[in-house]
Amino acid sequence: MPTMLITGGSGGIGAATALAAAEAGWDVAVNYRSRGDVAAELADRITAETGQHAIAVGADVAVEEEVISMFDRTVTEFGGIDCLVNNSGIAPGFGPFVDVSLADIEATWAVNLTGAFICAREAVRRMARSRGGAGGSIVNVSSRAAAIGSPFEWIHYAASKSGLDTLTTGLSKEVASDGIRVNTVRPGLMTTDFGPWAPEGRTERLKPGVPMGRGGEPHEIAAAIVWLASDEASYVTGAFIDVSGGR
């Protein structure tokens, strides 16, 4: 069975992706940083409902040694890795740009950008045909914020996701000959938007500005991720799918 490693997999888009992937025949490694009990429950649910092998694997994606250990455990458990979903993301420091603290900027970039880069590097090291791998794919979970800029809310977050988009563009070209596809899904306004970091009522306030008039659901993002990871997208690399209701 093909194996998918999902960072930030214990809730929201990550959990929805883990379930959708398992239903499509993937074995799944669900990464978590602090909610190990939740990730373990999700892994058990996946196995019970789909029959696919699933594990919970802890790592802070901003810490290189923990990322390497996470990949090593995944490969040991499943015999390889076929897809990385770079989904981990945080969004502290909501508000006007001039009020954002350096601590919030650094924390955001450490997870959303540096962490994603480290994970992608470790995936390539294990997937690249020139290194003895069998190829594979990387799906980066970015945001429409990368294009919109998120003024008065999360300019630093938007900037981190813009950097992730650049990773997709450059890396997709660099590793195509090694049998690795790299693509991006960019969610728009979500019903589960940013959990503890967003002010209450944000989705309701902003949804009139979405042409479809609502926030997105995690399973709608998961469907795009799983498609990009699948053989149905075998000729797709360096691509961006906006799942944003037209926003």
State the catalytic residues: 157
∠ CA(198), CA(102), CA(69), 5° rounding? 80
Q: Where are the alpha helices (DSSP H) in 3-144?
A: 12-23, 36-50, 64-78, 102-109, 116-127
* First-last CA distance in the chain: 37
Cβ-based neighbour number of residue 110 at 10 Å: 16
Q: Give yes or no for a contact between 190 and 218, defined as CB atoms under 8 angstroms apart.
A: yes
Q: Where are the alpha helices (DSSP H) in 100-185?
A: 102-109, 116-127, 145-148, 155-175
Q: How far apart are CA 158 and CA 151, in angstroms?
A: 9
CA-based torsion, 33, 150, 197, 213: positive or negative? negative
